[in-house]
């Protein structure tokens, strides 16, 4: 166990997107970076040690992924989520966004209709539109900051002809960990209308506050045969820069088609350090992850308590999963442009602007809380002070 999450680590000067691109993105260096979904925490020691061990061997030539790699993935998913995954169904991807794009290329044709549920992680839109497929929105329905799927509208879209559905599970940015009843209802619709599902489960290990993650494909063979599950250690252990992720495809014909696309663009080789990091994390990272989850829950509580006491009009969606707080700032009565200027110029915060998540994102901001508590509270104070002085 080694999670010292209170330790501040200087990340400026490491070519960090989150810390070193403030002026290009926010037009100012004077903002506290609480945007991009990576954490300001060091990776677990078992991962650092595995990378250092491999780096000590001075030849970094081509490598392949050994059986151990796939067993590590299936062992992790079995332990953490109770889903028994055959290592032979696991494929590689250099990231989840590349996997979404490759699945769209492999399993749909130009013009096909693909459903996504905004407000949602913005590369979902481009994964569809990049390949000239048609986006169909099934906007989440919100009441008092709690988001749900609109099943009636979803069924209508399926009835009109839909080839694929991209599920964000858990859902970034609204923090939902979809429950069994919701997943069963979704699976029922997908099987009835023969709609294939890409289930992006990149945040599945980061489930907080007593919630659980149920892999969609674990619900039964019928839905498993329609589902491509995307999994990665990159959010869980803060390894996004290593570009090593996996997809789980239980139908051999679909797996073959996915692998064909991966080979076609020749990105299946992977990265030596990503490989050893995944193995180390998925075999020895459990205790560290438990500590991380406790720390994130503490951060979530501290942020909520501060904002409730200082700006009670601000609604924060319950954080069932992810480390991304979804803030409803509509009570300020500003349009999106003014709100963005207010957050950058007055609160001096670098957050993700709600509209980038599509319909439903307006007048919201996304705040990354995976940072030492003193940094989080500095961000919380900047926001509440700016709101109170505006008001």
Ligand X SMILES: Cc1ncc(COP(=O)(O)O)c(C=O)c1O
Judge contact between 237 and 277, C-beta under 8 A: yes
Smallest gap from Cβ 246 to ligand X, in A, equals 10
Smallest gap from Cβ 267 to ligand X, in A, equals 12
CA angle 38, 318, 305 (to 5 degrees): 90
Say how far apart CA 64 and CA 54 lie, in whole Å: 14
Smallest gap from Cβ 156 to ligand X, in A, equals 25
Smallest gap from Cβ 294 to ligand X, in A, equals 22
* Element of type H or E holding 91: strand 90-93
Nearer to ligand X by Cβ, of 234 and 365: the residue is: 234
Q: Edge-to-edge strand order for the sheet containing 227-231?
A: 90-93, 245-249, 227-231, 196-200, 164-168, 113-116, 134-137
Smallest gap from Cβ 201 to ligand X, in A, equals 9
Nearer to ligand X by Cβ, of 72 and 202: the residue is: 202
Nearer to ligand X by Cβ, of 227 and 245: the residue is: 245
DSSP 194-234: T-EEEEE-TTTT-B-TT-----GGGG-HHHHTTEEEEE-ST
| Spatial CA neighbour of 138 closest among 124, 319, 37 | 124
Nearer to ligand X by Cβ, of 96 and 314: the residue is: 96
Smallest gap from Cβ 59 to ligand X, in A, equals 27
Residues lying near ligand X in the complex (CB under 6 A): 37, 95-97, 121, 168, 172, 200, 202, 232, 234, 240, 245
Nearer to ligand X by Cβ, of 240 and 367: the residue is: 240
Which residues make beta-bridge pairs with 115?
Answer: 136, 165
Nearer to ligand X by Cβ, of 91 and 95: the residue is: 95
Nearer to ligand X by Cβ, of 51 and 386: the residue is: 51
Say how far apart CA 358 and CA 339 lie, in whole Å: 16
By Cβ distance, which residue is nearest to ligand X? 95
Give Cα separations from 334 to 108, 124, 205, 325, 364 (angstroms): 40, 27, 36, 20, 11
Smallest gap from Cβ 93 to ligand X, in A, equals 8
Say how far apart CA 96 and CA 199 lie, in whole Å: 10
């Amino acid at each position: 166990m080694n999670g010292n999450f209170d330790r501040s680590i200087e990340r400026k000067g490491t070519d960090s997107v989150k810390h070193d691109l403030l002026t290009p993105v926010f037009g100012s260096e004077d903002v506290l970076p609480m945007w991009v979904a990576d954490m300001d925490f060091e990776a677990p020691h078992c991962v650092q040690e595995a990378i250092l061990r491999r780096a000590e061997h001075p030849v970094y030539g081509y490598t392949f992924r050994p059986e151990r790699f796939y067993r590590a993935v299936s062992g992790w998913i079995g332990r953490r989520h109770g889903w028994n995954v055959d290592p032979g169904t696991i494929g590689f991807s250099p990231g989840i966004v590349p996997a979404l794009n490759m699945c769209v290329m492999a399993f749909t044709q130009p013009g096909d209709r693909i459903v996504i549920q905004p407000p949602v992680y913005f590369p979902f839109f481009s994964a569809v539109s990049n390949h000239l497929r048609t986006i169909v929105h099934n906007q989440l329905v919100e009441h008092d900051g709690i988001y749900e799927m609109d099943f009636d509208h979803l069924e209508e879209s399926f009835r009109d002809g839909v080839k694929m559905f991209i599920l964000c599970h858990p859902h970034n940015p609204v923090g939902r960990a979809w429950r069994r009843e919701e997943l069963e209802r979704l699976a029922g619709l997908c099987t009835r209308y023969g709609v294939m599902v890409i289930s992006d489960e990149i945040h599945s290990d980061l489930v907080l506050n007593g919630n659980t993650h149920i892999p969609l494909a674990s619900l039964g063979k019928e839905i498993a045969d329609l589902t491509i599950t995307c999994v990665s250690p990159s959010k869980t252990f803060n390894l996004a820069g290593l570009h090593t992720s996996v997809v789980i495809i239980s139908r051999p014909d679909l797996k073959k088609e996915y692998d064909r696309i991966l080979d076609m663009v020749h990105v299946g080789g992977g990265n030596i350090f990503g490989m050893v990091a995944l193995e180390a994390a998925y075999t020895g990272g459990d205790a560290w992850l438990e500590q991380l989850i406790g720390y994130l829950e503490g951060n979530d509580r501290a942020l909520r308590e501060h904002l409730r006491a200082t700006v009670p009009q601000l609604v924060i969606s319950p954080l069932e999963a992810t480390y991304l707080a979804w803030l409803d700032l509509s009570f300020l009565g500003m349009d999106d442009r003014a709100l963005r200027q207010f957050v950058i110029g007055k609160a001096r915060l670098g957050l993700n602007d709600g509209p980038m998540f599509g319909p439903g994102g307006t007048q919201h901001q996304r705040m990354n809380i995976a940072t030492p508590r003193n940094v989080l509270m500095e961000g919380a104070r900047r926001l509440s002070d700016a709101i109170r002085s505006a008001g």
